[in-house]
Amino acid sequence: MCVTPPSPPPPRASVLVRPGRGETEGKQPVCHGGSALAAAGGEPRGGWVTNQFLRQLGIYPSWQFVDVYGSDPELLGLVPRPVCALMLLFPVTEKYETFRMKEEETIKAQGQEVKPGVYFMKQTISNACGTIGLIHAIANNRDKIDFEKDSSLKKFLDESVPMNPEQRAKYLETYEAIRVTHESSAHEGQTEAPSIDEKVDLHFIALVNVDGILYELDGRKPFPINHGRSNVDTFLEDAVGVCKKFMERDPDELRFNAIALAAA
């Protein structure tokens, strides 16, 4: 059902946006930020691509995605507040995959707290992580978002809230309104993107605050990841702290990019 929007422009130089090199195939669906159902998620042009996609899905611009240029307090101070979600684009490497499997084993053995209000869905479509991340960001902030009356995304969320993560993924596969919106968004770019079957190694996740807990939401994982306490005042710093852990696990990697969903 997927179309392949054009690839995004090269990333700008900053702490969290750096030119990359090489590829490592992941063992589960992995995404390129500008492909397939990820029209909302590529290397952002000031958040423009993502915000255009949100607008087409029927969301008023009271909240918009903005670039996070770095983790220093001065650079975080450039991000409008409050921030209700953060999306991280990162490389899926052998080091990351090893960590991911160990993390899953540890949580299954020790357990973790996941609030019942967390909206989480699996990723069953290759190269769809940008869209999955965006849905996670919006779905877990529905009380803050201003939807148009006929918003296709609001309709999808309203209908999928009662479903489990696997059912939500299957529903997205057949949700025509979002597919049509991707086809429209595809014409906004300028170069050819990877096909949905092409092996690429950049992946999006979303970080959100639900009932005072910071969660990592990744459709490749079997469940949300609890990263501890957070609140509206410290969420951006807390989320960037999680992003820094991703970077520390792969110190030789340069391909990291973060955008924040902030009050306009």
Distance of CA 70 to the CA centre of its chain: 18
- Helix 176-186 vs helix 152-160: crossing angle, to nearest 10: 140
Contact 85, 206 (CB under 8 A): yes
Residue 137's Cβ-count burial label (10 Å; 0-12, 13-18, 19+) is: buried
Return the SS3 of 241.
helix
Annotate 130-173 with three-state secondary structure. Answer: HHHHHHHHHHCCCCCCCECCCCHHHHHHHHHCCCCHHHHHHHHH
Active site residues: 129, 203
Dist CA 67 CA 104 (whole Å): 30
